Amino acid sequence: MNKVALISGAGTGIGKATAIRLAEDGYSVAVCYSSSEQGGQETVNSIESQGGVAKLYQVSIESESSVKALFTNIMNDFKRIDMVINNAGIGHYGKVKDIIMDDFDRLFNVNTRGTFMMCREAANCIHDGGSIINISTGATTSNMPGQGLYTASKLALEGFSKVLAKELGGRQVSVNIVSPGMTDTPLLDGGDREALKVYGARSAAMKRCGEPEDIASAIASIVSSDCAWITGQNLRVDGGSVII
């Protein structure tokens, strides 16, 4: 039986590119999408057209019952989960002085609380030797004006990811963070898309904005057996936007 990868936010952008890449690498893929997201079936069709195995699941990651049902359904269908890619998330652009608490609650419910619940369920059923990848953002180090709320929600994600790596290490389950630089995905639609792409290209040593396939390739590398002894790390895939 093929190993099984669960990918949230897999209808578009990084999630879609990662689902297709992992299917090419031989994984069966649980393609997870939200009710507000388009493209989940298109991702499944792309995988199946290349001879891969994929199944579509709808989930609202801000809902505990929905997250629990997702993992139950995938375990019933595939009998195992070897990899969880927590890609689903939402963006926000606005200065701290202008943020309303409804936006604060919405960002943290999805990006932080939702990913936390996905990790909790993964920790209870992922196969020994598996991998969890949580998608963060280069904004946690760039401190770009207008991204205070988004940055805060992702910093919390980074914190519990590192603790989870220590908790699951005895089972040889790796937990890592992937932090994309400015990448050309629908997430940019929350701000001035073209201005953000220009900013991203100028900030990167490689002088271009990222593509979803750039991030998918990095994820495929860090979950491979060659990287099995890497855990608790934050892999910055940003074309050199942040060089420490």
Alpha-carbon distances, residue 28 vs 20, 24, 33, 79, 174 (angstroms): 10, 9, 16, 12, 19
User: Is 150 a residue of the active site?
Assistant: yes
Cα–Cα distance between 241 and 139 in angstroms, integer?
10
Nearest to residue 30, comparing CAs of 88, 83, 66, 89? 83
**H or E segment to which residue 106 belongs:** helix 101-107
Structure-token match 């359904």, residue found:
73
Cα–Cα distance between 16 and 19 in angstroms, integer?
5
First vs last C-alpha separation in the chain: 41
Instruction: List the structure tokens of 76.
Output: 């019933």
Question: CA triplet 132, 213, 186: central angle to 5 degrees?
Answer: 90
Q: Which of 27, 33, 57, 150 is catalytic?
A: 150
* Residues labelled catalytic: 150
